[in-house]
Amino acid sequence: MKEETAIHVKNLTKKFGAFTAVNTISFKVKKGEIFGFLGANGAGKTTAMKMLIGISTPTSGEATVAGFNVNTQPESIKKNIGYMSQKFALYDDLTVKENITFFGGIYGLTRKQIKDKRSQLVEELGLQKIVNELVSSLPLGWKQKIAFSVALLHNPKIVFLDEPTGGVDPITRRQFWEMIYKTANQGTTVFVTTHYMDEAEYCDSVSIMVNGKIEALDTPKKLKEQFKASTMNDVFLKLARG
Amino acid sequence: MKRFIGFIKKEFYHIFRDKRSLFILFGMPIAQIMLFGFAITNEINNVNIAILDHSKDATTQEIIHKIESSKYFTITASILNETEIETAFKKGHVKAVLIFEKDFSKNLGKENNATVQVIADATDPNTANTISNYVTAILQKYQQKINVAVKTPYQILPKTRMAFNPELKSVFMFVPGVMTIILMLVSAMMTSISITREKELGTMEILLVSPLKPFQVIIGKVVPYIFLSIINAIIIVLLGILVFNMPVQGSYFLLAAESVLFIITSLSLGILISTVSASQQTAMMISLMALMLPTILLSGFIFPISSMPLPLQIISNIVPAKWFIIILKGIMLKGVGLQFIWKSTLILVGMTLFFIGLSVKKYKIRLE
Amino acid sequence: MSISVNNISKSFKGKTALKNISFEVKKGELFGLIGPDGAGKTTLFRILTTLLIPNHGEATVVDFDIIKDYKSIRNNVGYMPGRFSLYQDLTVKENLEFFATIFGTTIEKNYDLIKDIYVQIEPFKDRRAGKLSGGMKQKLALCCALIHKPKVLFLDEPTTGVDPVSRKEFWEMLKRLQNKGITMLVSTPYMDEAAICDRIALIQDGEMLEIDTPKKIVKHYSKTIYNVKANNMYQLIKSLKSYQHNYSVYPFGEFVHYTDTRTDFSPIDLQHYLTSKNLKNISIEITQATIEDTFMELAK
């Protein structure tokens, strides 16, 4: 049972002064699951995620990520997770190859491991033509796909994706989700925050945060049944509008 | 006109709500004046001097002894004739030479006055000035002592000569210098940053797609900084007068008019910078590298222009700050009127017109 | 015609941003420009708002030429750029007043037009714009773009980065503005927002893929789409992609949208194939094409 839970959150709370950004949230994410972490702007998603990836200390409550306690072992957590955000993913002024080498390096891969990983990525993503190009010259979709692969370089147990596909064209977006499915199928847990409801439909289970609390938590199918809605977007609208 | 006033109102909101910048804006001139004012210290210790004693009598020996026993001077050499003075200075061993005239004691006794000549190495003008003051003080003290016994007071006349820099060009130079830097900084950097900030925010797009004419946007951006710069100039002059007893010999009205001219020169430079930079960061870098450094280094503020190599002397002519410092010095220290500084003034006017013309030509009514 | 675009092309340093774009927007129409980031939407907006000059082609906005009569256009249009372009350090009211004055009008004069929207943000009128939530900022930006009663309103990705509730409200506001006779050109990367527009243009890599009403665009999709589902998503996609008759395979929420190359395709065959790949709980059903399906087909 302990092996099967990738993330275990219990009464996690974060306060900034008098303002409670995250209000006693609890949930579990199974190993190899695609977990959608949804909510409107300012609902507390980012704050909650920062606590889970070990860069922010909770005010109270507990959470275990990849078997490590967020309060006491944040450094161990960082070694065992991958992280990618829409805001920052890769260095624009480095080539694809240099980015892979750099991120491989900071995750402590040996030179040989980096080289192997790089040829593997080039092969899988079909990067032969662009591997020596500057990242800034690539279309957004490519950047995001490469960034995701880079986040997986060190074979993390869990990968956190912060709004990974915003603004990407529909075909590339689907290629991205195919990569996510593949990753999850290999046993890596995928934790996705987004406020794009169409992405929620792809997840195995979904939590919706409203004003710092988790107001709904289930599979997309069950949530839609529960709220008598045809899409996750409608579920969200019903939840937010009460 | 109503549109324009609305625009200026908005600019003042920006300025007064950015507490940190506001603090820097007004804190900086005060801090800089204090820093420069007190960093130019009046203390000297164990300065090496040489003595040329033409008379070699009891009185000169006594004075030399007095000087040597003070903690301020160390006598490192005795010089035998005038020609050795130059060599001593050039070798850099001594900072000053004291020359006692022939028959010093006799003159003092017979005619009641005798002369000591103090020649100081004024390549470091502040030290030179201080040295001569200290020597004079020591001589006066000695004089008081010997005068107690006699009816007609003896007079020892120290005659000072500043070698290499006879006008002592850097004395009080820091006030005009700091004023120049601050006005340049506030006017050029602040305007260029405030214009590029609109570009960065994307609000420039909206302003362009509005009936507001481009020159209204530019003038609207500039007006608030004219006010702030004037306030800064007043603060600096007041500090100079009140804290450092700096004299303002010339007309205050001329001083104000010339300052406004320099503010406008700097503002036009700021506008020019904003037309070529896309981000606040670039604007700041250009302002610092292309404006601040020449203003500090090539304007004659810290390093006298006359002692620069010729190429730099030529380059210094295109630095607006050089001309403004000449003007300030003329008005504040020499008390001259426009008839003596019209040339520098004309150069500044010319530069301003050139920068404005260039900015108007460079300013884009579109994004490209 | 409120907007008429004829063969517009634009490139930046040899990189083509727009290729031969032509379309027209009728007076009072709500026209959607649908496409991903980098499709050229913002460039097109900037050309039409006279901020950029095209390399080729011509365009008019409210019958004014975008190059010759740029000043007249600037007096007659409202523009809401993609980023949140208001003064963060000014309050809600100050922002609105500022934009009213530079357009030579007052809030009172055109209050009717913005009333619906403004009452929602009025309780926060003394708050700095930078401290507003995403949805509030967007409403304020809309008010500021409307304050001079423009004939045409350009909205560049107004709903990007805004939560679903605010997005829905925003589109409802646009619908109400349309009733007041304002022509609107709106861009969005979200396919699901397209349905609200009168007509839409699908755009990718600087080219128009299709221009029509949302309903007709969906009808252009000629193939039958099947919703396929099974116990393991990843295996399902992999199996479908290696199926020899597959025409397109796209994950679509909890389903996979599958189309077949054959005209006499029978779902039973596919069912057998998937079963042979060890998939369980297989379901295959016919479904309706969406705008996203059409987009992907056209962009293929």
Residue A171 at interface with chain C, using a CB cutoff of 8 Å: yes
What ranges do the domains of chain C cover?
A: 3-218, 225-299
Cα distance between residue C227 and residue C267, in whole Å: 11
Q: Is the pLDDT of residue C242 over 90?
A: yes
What ranges do the domains of chain A cover?
A: 5-241
The Cα of C20 is separated from the nearest Cα of chain B by a number of Å equal to 20
Which residues, including other chains, have CB under 8 Å from residue C239's CB and lie 6 or more apart?
C273, C274, C277, C279
Which of C42, C234, C248 would you mutate first to test chain A, the one with the most A CBs within 10 A? C234
Write down which chains contact chain C via at least 3 CB pairs under 8 A: A, B
What ranges do the domains of chain B cover?
A: 2-39+172-362, 47-163
Q: Is residue C185 classed as helix, strand or coil in its secondary structure?
A: strand
Query: What is the average pLDDT score of chain B?
Result: 83
The pLDDT tens digits of the residues spanning A68-118 come to: 999 999 889 988 999 998 776 788 899 999 999 999 888 888 999 999 999
Cα distance between residue B248 and residue B324, in whole Å: 15
Sort out which chain C residues have CB atoms less than 8 A from B5's CB and list them. Answer: 101
* B118, B158 contact by CB (below 8 A): yes
Cα distance between residue B141 and residue B132, in whole Å: 14
pTM (predicted TM-score): 0.81
Q: Do chains B and A touch (3 or more CB pairs under 8 A)?
A: no
Residue C239 at interface with chain A, using a CB cutoff of 8 Å: no
C-alpha distances in Å from residue A26, one per residue of A204, A207, A213: 18, 10, 9
Residue A202 at interface with chain C, using a CB cutoff of 8 Å: yes
Cα distance between residue B50 and residue B63, in whole Å: 13
Cα distance between residue A141 and residue B343, in whole Å: 62
Residue A104 at interface with chain C, using a CB cutoff of 8 Å: no
Please state the φ and ψ torsions of residue B229, each to the nearest 5 degrees. Answer: -65, -40
The pLDDT tens digits of the residues spanning A81-94 come to: 999 987 767 888 99
The Cα of A230 is separated from the nearest Cα of chain C by a number of Å equal to 12
User: Six-digit token pair at B351?
Assistant: 């530069």
User: Six-digit token pair at A65?
Assistant: 């990520």
Residue C90 at interface with chain B, using a CB cutoff of 8 Å: yes
Residue A101 at interface with chain C, using a CB cutoff of 8 Å: no
How crowded is the C-beta side of A134, counted as CA atoms within 13 Å? 5
User: Six-digit token pair at A147?
Assistant: 């960034």
The Cα of C14 is separated from the nearest Cα of chain A by a number of Å equal to 13
C-alpha distances in Å from residue B242, one per residue of A171, B33, B95, B231, B253: 73, 12, 32, 16, 19
Residue A159: beta bridge partners?
Answer: A82, A190
Interface contacts B/C by beta carbons within 8 Å:
84
Q: Do chains B and C touch (3 or more CB pairs under 8 A)?
A: yes
Out of 3.40.50.1820, 3.40.1710.10, 3.20.20.70, 1.20.1730.10, select the CATH number for domain B47-163: 3.40.1710.10
Nearest CA in chain C to B19: C89
- For A:173-192, CB contacts with C below 8 A are 174, 177-178, 181-182, 184-185
C-alpha distances in Å from residue C202, one per residue of A162, A175, B5, C187: 27, 20, 43, 10
Sort out which chain A residues have CB atoms less than 8 A from C191's CB and list them. Answer: 170
pLDDT > 90 fraction of chain A, expressed in percent and rounded = 56
Residue C102 at interface with chain B, using a CB cutoff of 8 Å: yes
According to the model, what pLDDT value does residue B150 have? 63
In residues, how long is chain C?
A: 300
What is the CATH number that goes with domain C225-299?
3.30.70
The pLDDT tens digits of the residues spanning A205-224 come to: 999 998 899 999 999 999 99
Write down which chains contact chain A via at least 3 CB pairs under 8 A: C
According to the model, what pLDDT value does residue A107 have? 85
Contact call for C162 and A41, based on CB within 8 A: yes
Count of H-run helices and E-run strands, chain A: 9, 10
Contact call for A236 and C164, based on CB within 8 A: yes
User: Six-digit token pair at C181?
Assistant: 């006779």
According to the model, what pLDDT value does residue C53 have? 94
User: Six-digit token pair at B5?
Assistant: 């006033």
> Which of B3, B13, B208 has its CB closest to that of C90?
B13
Q: Is the pLDDT of residue B193 over 60?
A: yes
B275-287 mean pLDDT = 90
According to the model, what pLDDT value does residue B345 have? 95
User: Six-digit token pair at B301?
Assistant: 């503020």
The Cα of B122 is separated from the nearest Cα of chain C by a number of Å equal to 53
User: Six-digit token pair at C183?
Assistant: 């022509």
DSSP 8-state assignment for residue A95: B
- For C:241-260, CB contacts with A below 8 A are 250-254
Sort out which chain C residues have CB atoms less than 8 A from B197's CB and list them. Answer: none
Which of A174, A206, A222, A233 would you mutate first to test chain C, the one with the most C CBs within 10 A? A174
User: Six-digit token pair at C34?
Assistant: 């649908």
Q: Is the pLDDT of residue A21 over 80?
A: yes
Sort out which chain B residues have CB atoms less than 8 A from C74's CB and list them. Answer: 208-211
What is the CATH number that goes with domain A5-241?
3.40.50.300
- Least reliable range by pLDDT among B112-116, B249-253, C211-215: B112-116
Q: Is residue B218 classed as helix, strand or coil in its secondary structure?
A: helix
Write down which chains contact chain B via at least 3 CB pairs under 8 A: C
The Cα of A42 is separated from the nearest Cα of chain C by a number of Å equal to 8
Contact call for B206 and C99, based on CB within 8 A: yes
Contact call for A167 and C234, based on CB within 8 A: no
Positive or negative, the CA dihedral B18, B20, B21, B23 is positive
Interface contacts A/C by beta carbons within 8 Å:
89
Model confidence at B169, pLDDT cuts 50, 70, 90, reads very low
The pLDDT tens digits of the residues spanning A37-60 come to: 988 777 888 899 999 998 899 999
Sort out which chain C residues have CB atoms less than 8 A from A233's CB and list them. Answer: 164, 192
Residue C85 at interface with chain B, using a CB cutoff of 8 Å: yes
Residue A220 at interface with chain C, using a CB cutoff of 8 Å: yes
Q: What is the DSSP string of B70-127?
A: STTEEEEEE--STHHHHHHHHHT--SEEEEEPTTHHHHHHHTSEEEEEEEEETTSHHH
The Cα of C126 is separated from the nearest Cα of chain B by a number of Å equal to 13
Model confidence at A142, pLDDT cuts 50, 70, 90, reads confident
The pLDDT tens digits of the residues spanning C28-52 come to: 999 999 998 889 999 999 999 999 9
Phi-psi region of C180 (alpha: psi -120 to 50; beta: other; left: phi over 0): alpha
Residue C106 at interface with chain B, using a CB cutoff of 8 Å: no
Which run of H or of E encompasses C188? strand C183-188
* C57, C20 contact by CB (below 8 A): yes
Q: At what angle do helices B320-329 and B252-276 cross, to 10 degrees?
A: 170
C-alpha distances in Å from residue B194, one per residue of B11, B190, B294, C205: 9, 6, 22, 35
> Which of B2, B3, B18 has its CB closest to that of C89?
B18
Which run of H or of E encompasses C228? strand C225-229
Residue A86: beta bridge partners?
Answer: none
According to the model, what pLDDT value does residue B152 have? 62
Contact call for C37 and A241, based on CB within 8 A: no
Which residues, including other chains, have CB under 8 Å from residue B337's CB and lie 6 or more apart?
B250, B251, B254
DSSP 8-state assignment for residue A169: -
pLDDT > 70 fraction of chain B, expressed in percent and rounded = 91
Nearest CA in chain C to B213: C71
User: Six-digit token pair at C243?
Assistant: 């199926």
How crowded is the C-beta side of B191, counted as CA atoms within 13 Å? 30
According to the model, what pLDDT value does residue C122 have? 92
In angstroms and rounded to an integer, the radius of gyration of the C-alpha atoms of chain C is 23
> Which of B7, B366, B368 has its CB closest to that of C102?
B7
Contact call for C71 and B211, based on CB within 8 A: yes
Cα distance between residue A63 and residue C155, in whole Å: 43
Residue B119: beta bridge partners?
Answer: B97, B161
The pLDDT tens digits of the residues spanning C110-142 come to: 998 999 899 999 999 999 998 888 888 989 999
Q: Is the pLDDT of residue B298 over 70?
A: yes
User: In degrees, to the nearest 5, what angle opens at C-alpha C227 toward C-alphas A146 and A217?
Assistant: 70
- Which residue from A163, A162, A176, A204 is spatially nearest to C250, judged by alpha carbons? A176
Q: What is the DSSP string of B238-301?
A: HHHHHHH-----S-HHHHHHHHHHHHHHHHHHHHHHHHH-SSHHHHHHHIIIIIIHHHHHSSSS
β-pairing, C30-34 vs C183-188, is parallel
Contact call for A166 and C250, based on CB within 8 A: no
- Burial of residue A121 (number of CB atoms within 10 Å: 0-12, 13-18, 19+): buried
B58-75 mean pLDDT = 83
Query: What is the average pLDDT score of chain A?
Result: 89
Nearest CA in chain C to A187: C234
Contact call for B203 and C86, based on CB within 8 A: yes
User: Six-digit token pair at B263?
Assistant: 């503010």
Sort out which chain C residues have CB atoms less than 8 A from B17's CB and list them. Answer: 89-90, 128
* C246, C258 contact by CB (below 8 A): yes
Q: Is residue C58 classed as helix, strand or coil in its secondary structure?
A: strand
What is the CATH number that goes with domain C3-218?
3.40.50.300
Residue A28: beta bridge partners?
Answer: A8
Sort out which chain B residues have CB atoms less than 8 A from C51's CB and list them. Answer: 205, 208-209, 366-367
C-alpha distances in Å from residue A17, one per residue of A21, A22, A31, A73, A102: 10, 12, 35, 25, 38
